[in-house]
Structure 1
Amino acid sequence: MVFQWLKRYMPRGLYGRAALILVFPVVMLQLIVSLVFIQRHFEGVTEIMSRAVVQEITFLLDEMAAAPDSAAARAEAGRIADALDFDLVFDAAPDAVVAARPFYDLSGRVMLDIFSAAIPGLGPTDLSNFREVHILLDTPEGPAVLSFGRSRVSASNPHQLIVIMVVMGALMTLIAYLFLRNQLRPIKRMADAAADYGKGRVVPYTPSGAVEVRAAGMAFLEMRARIERQTQARTMMLSGISHDLRTPLTRLRLGLSMMDEEEAEPMVRDVADMERLVDAFLDYGREDAADAPEPTDPVAFLRQVAGDSARAGRAVELGRIDGIDDTAQVMLRPMALRRALENLIGNGLRYGGKVRLSLTASDRTLRFRVEDNGPGIPADQRDEAMRPFTRLDPARNQNRGTGVGLGLAIVADIARLHGGTLRLGESADMGGLCADIVVAR
């Protein structure tokens, strides 16, 4: 429970945690040194010095008591006070000295304890001034104020040690942080390169830093190159197969055009279905070779998609646009994102009769929402629906269209290409499928 409570207040960033690792030991070391050295050493020094002053004050009082008369006592006390560098004033008022000690004056507390135990007739002691000590003494000649320098009873430079500790601790922490930042910078560069690659951007990256960081950077570059090779191989394979299939399909369509129209109609439909399959394979194969990211106005982009669909006679309307204005620019792949939205629009119109587009923006994400009034997809089948070559005809009314199960898979891949994800749900007011393309800003 304690660790869970502390975890909520720990910094989440790498630099913040590094600073905590540096500052916490330095602060703890200074506290330990302060407690052990300042409290014990300086209080010990104060005790020795205070006992020496107590002996001098006791000697002065004893000499006054041994004097034959009042005049001799005062004269002897003045002579001894001058010799011991004391300032002694007789006939003082009872309230001439007010007891005072700052709460942080630890050495003053030790001095008061020693004085109270060893000096008879000790009255109030004023320690408010760190340069002088004022004591009210009850002498045989009446109340007297005894004053002397504070440096005689306690070490005069404990604050210098504290200042040196704080300044040197801050300086060493700063130096260590600068060195550590140089070690953390390669890690952050690698994290940024990995984040950019997750959003579909291949940025130049050269491993640097410590040996372990360089090894991790080289592993990342090898992984990125391997993924690129596999993606290119898949794209080339699908493109090659699709291209090779188009030639015999064209010959079949040409041959069917020479046959009787009524007899050739079923085979023409088969050829058309095969061409749609080839087009779907091509779309799925080229999603990794999409257009490059460019600054795009998402509001104008969505309005253009909705307007193009409306001009094509589709029942597509533009819904709410929240959290973003018409002047905002976001790095998007407009061609790929348009293909994803059109796939969702096509599915919505195939299985329903109406589609609505909307856009919601936050500080870190954009959410393109496509809703329809069709039958939707059951919650337990939504993850499966986004897998390639998956068809959920019973849930989406197979009598209204056919496909190869690549539509949602293409949309999900395009969302991942933008560093985002595809989320499927149920439309609150339209009753059909609600598809959210969430991309990073």
Structure 2
Amino acid sequence: MTAGGQAGADNAAAKRAAARRAERRRRTPLLKRFLPRTLFGRSLLIIVTPVILAQAVATWIFYDRHWDTVTNRLAYGVAGDIATVIAVLEHDPTPEGRDWTLATAARTTDLIVTLEPGQILPEQRRQQSGLLGGLLERTLGKALEDRVGRPFTINTRVAHEWYEIRVQMADGVLSVMSPERRLFTPTSYIFILWMVGSAIVLFAVAILFMRNQIRPIKRLAIAADALGKGRDVSNFKMEGATEVRQAASAFLLMRERLQRQINQRTEMLAGVSHDLRTPLTRMKLALDMIEDPDLDPEVEELKADVAEMEEMIEGYLAFARGEGTEAVQPTDLTRLLNEVAVGARREGTEVTLTAAEGLSLPLRPNAVRRCVANLLVNAGRHAGTAWVKAERKDGVIEITVDDDGPGIPAYLRDDVFKPFFRVDSSRNLDTGGSGLGLTIARDVARSHGGDITLDDSPYGGLRAVIRLPV
């Protein structure tokens, strides 16, 4: 298959992945799509939501009770003073009585009251409380209707922090200038500022507190991820709340048990290697010392059996050892793949390598080298031509090994990763190997937190995909 065919297959795979993601989003409940996905966001939401609800209820009660009560009292107080002035003016309409009434009102009511004789309010400017725009204007208008009961106008733009109230009288227009402090109390603004300020302080404290609580969980997650990728987590320590410390303690115990199990397996297999190789060596020497020509066919068969046993033991030891003693170190993957490709070409496999520059990540280089080499050995054994491609995709580095051989049937692609399983059931090591190549390759990939999958190759053979998390 051509490079265009391979690109088409990759595009089809990308479309299938996008369709699966879209299907998962479609099945997600609508509410969950808008909820925070992180523990920090959800914890903060749990803290913030009751505070916002409590402040909303408190604000509603404040405006429902405080504003109505205090503002009504202030408005009715001003309207009552105006009604009193009007009543006194009508009781003593003489110029001397009028002057005394206006002077007394200015001195005792904090209102500036003037009388404009002969003036008439324009009909279109006369207002009713239901036609006024602002809440304070409507409250004052209702009070004027109840206490004064005459046509009036309210002008809020006559001067800064002053209200002008003009009331129609029988012989003119009464103009009253009222300061804003007589109609409005600043406690509402103080209350709102206090709530907003306290909420900001509480949110800041909650954010700092939650960050300190979430940080140990993040570190535990990072340490667990590093352990899953086979990396060192020796600098991890327990901190945070009691529950987080319990989880961290369980993680440390798990790490110790895993390390102890690996060490025990390695030590045990070192002894097994010595114990098994010794009798095999004696068997080889005994077979070499047999000089009876009549037994040559049987001797050759026994030598082949011994060679097979040696191959199987070496393969098993390599699989069980799993390169566990090798340290993780920053590795230039592009360079490593080039070295593996050169080695495969020396063995007679035609390899085409396509790898981007700068593919570096922490690895056990010898283990990964063996993983890729096993795949190329299989390709060289069954196909002769291999295509290797390495690229970064969605937070992982993907190494693809294609060949043009006969491939592996789909129903056997899980079984070939089992130890000593061979598609070719014969005992010929030249055609089937020991049955541990793919097993070791998957073991190496999974020890780095990745995996290997098998699929059909666009070149007609088998495709093996190694995914390594960055």
TM-score, scaled to structure 1: 0.86
1:195 aligns with 2:221: no
Q: Is the 8 A contact 1:43 1:107 kept in 2?
A: no
Q: Is the 8 A contact 2:330 2:362 kept in 1?
A: yes
1:405 aligns with 2:440: no
Q: Choose from 108, 133, 138 the match for 1:83.
A: 108
CA distance in 2 between partners of 1:27 and 1:237 (Å): 63
Match of 1:314 in 2: 349
1:275 aligns with 2:339: no
Task: Give the unaligned 5+ runs of structure 1.
Answer: none
Q: Deviations over 1:293-324 (max 9, x none)?
A: 222222222222222322332122113x4xxx
Match of 2:467 in 1: 438
1:221 aligns with 2:234: no
| Pairing of 1:354-369 with structure 2 (within 5 A) | 354-369=385-400
| Pairing of 1:10-409 with structure 2 (within 5 A) | 10-68=35-93, 73=98, 76-77=101-102, 79-91=104-116, 94=122, 106-127=135-156, 131-204=161-234, 205-259=236-290, 262-319=297-354, 321=355, 325-393=356-424, 401-409=431-439
User: What letter matches 1:351 in structure 2?
Assistant: H
CA distance in 1 between partners of 2:133 and 2:243 (Å): 49
Q: Is the 8 A contact 2:350 2:384 kept in 1?
A: yes
CA distance in 2 between partners of 1:305 and 1:126 (Å): 90
Task: Give the unaligned 5+ runs of structure 2.
Answer: 1-25
Amino-acid identity (%): 34
Size of the aligned set, in residue pairs, is 434
SS, match of residue 341 in structure 1: helix
CA distance in 2 between partners of 1:211 and 1:346 (Å): 52
Q: Is the 8 A contact 2:331 2:363 kept in 1?
A: yes
RMSD: 3.4
Q: Is the 8 A contact 1:22 1:177 kept in 2?
A: no
CA distance in 2 between partners of 1:108 and 1:236 (Å): 91
Shift of 1:166: 1.4
**Closer/same/farther in 2, CA of residues 125 and 228 from structure 1, 3 Å limit:** same
Shift of 1:108: 4.9
**Closer/same/farther in 2, CA of residues 39 and 375 from structure 1, 3 Å limit:** farther
User: What letter matches 2:300 in structure 1?
Assistant: E
SS, match of residue 164 in structure 2: strand
CA distance in 2 between partners of 1:159 and 1:104 (Å): 20
Shift of 1:339: 0.7
CA distance in 2 between partners of 1:178 and 1:104 (Å): 44
Match of 1:6 in 2: 31
Q: Is the 8 A contact 1:369 1:434 kept in 2?
A: yes
Shift of 1:198: 0.7
Shift of 1:216: 1.9
Deviates more, 1:239-248 or 1:108-117: 108-117
**Closer/same/farther in 2, CA of residues 411 and 54 from structure 1, 3 Å limit:** same
CA distance in 2 between partners of 1:151 and 1:380 (Å): 87
Q: Deviations over 1:102-151 (max 9, x none)?
A: x9965554444444454433444344688332323223343444221222
CA distance in 1 between partners of 2:65 and 2:444 (Å): 69
CA distance in 2 between partners of 1:97 and 1:279 (Å): 107
Shift of 1:52: 1.5
CA distance in 2 between partners of 1:175 and 1:385 (Å): 57
SS, match of residue 359 in structure 1: strand
Match of 1:417 in 2: 447
